[in-house]
Amino acid sequence: MEEKPVYNLSITYNINEYPDIKSGRCDNCDNAQFKSSIKNAIFLRECRKCSMKKVI
C-alpha cells in the first residue's frame, strides 16, 4: 500500500511545486470544496474541510 504524504497545514503550497494528485481535489483529505480568494494577483485556494492552502 502506498504511504500518504504528510502535509504541514500551517504553510501555503504552490501548485507548480506540488501539483494536485487528483485534479480539483485536496491532496490532504480528498475533499472537492474550496474557499477561494484573490489578493495582489495571487489566487489562493483553501480546502473547506482541512484548511490546506495552495496558490494556483
Looking at residue 4, its pLDDT comes to 74
User: What pTM did the predictor assign?
Assistant: 0.86
d(CA 7, CA 52): 8
Asked if residues 17 and 25 have their Cβ atoms less than 8 Å apart, the reply is no
Looking at residue 2, its pLDDT comes to 65
Looking at residue 1, its pLDDT comes to 61
Q: What is the pLDDT of residues 13-35, one digit of tens each?
A: 999 999 999 999 999 999 999 99
Residue 41, domain member (yes or no):
yes
Domain holding 39, by residue range, is 12-55
d(CA 19, CA 47): 15
Residue 48, domain member (yes or no):
yes
Domain count, the chain: 1
Residue 3, domain member (yes or no):
no
Among 23, 38, 31, 37, smallest CA distance to 52 is for 31
How much of the chain exceeds pLDDT 70, in percent? Answer: 96
Residue 22, domain member (yes or no):
yes
Residue 26, domain member (yes or no):
yes
pLDDT at 43 over 80: yes
